[in-house]
Amino acid sequence: MRLFVAVDPPVSAVQELADAVAPLRELPGADRLRWTGVDGWHLTLAFLGEVPVTEVPQLEEVLARAAAVNGAHRLRIAGGGCFGDRVLWAGMDGETWALRRLAESVREGIGELGLQTDERGFHPHLTLARAGSSHGRSRAVRRSAPGELQGMAAALEDFRGSEWEAGELRLMHSTLGYGPTRYEQVRAWPLARWEASS
1 alpha carbon, distance to own chain's centre: 18
* Domain residue spans of the chain: 2-190
The four Cα atoms 59, 39, 94, 78 give a dihedral, to 10 degrees, of 150
Give φ, ψ of 44 to 5 degrees: -75, 120
CB 2 within 8 A of CB 173: yes
Largest CA distance in the chain: 65
Cα(160)–Cα(13) distance, integer angstroms: 10
Cα(71)–Cα(102) distance, integer angstroms: 8
What percentage of the chain has pLDDT greater than the value 70? Answer: 89
Reported as a single tens digit per residue, the pLDDT across 140-162 is: 445 555 578 888 999 999 999 99
Residue 134 has pLDDT above 90, yes or no: no
The pTM for the full model equals 0.86
At residue 121's C-alpha, the angle toward residues 153 and 133, to 5°, is: 55
The helix/strand/coil state of 129 is strand
Residue 198 has pLDDT above 70, yes or no: no
The class that CATH gives domain 2-190 is alpha beta
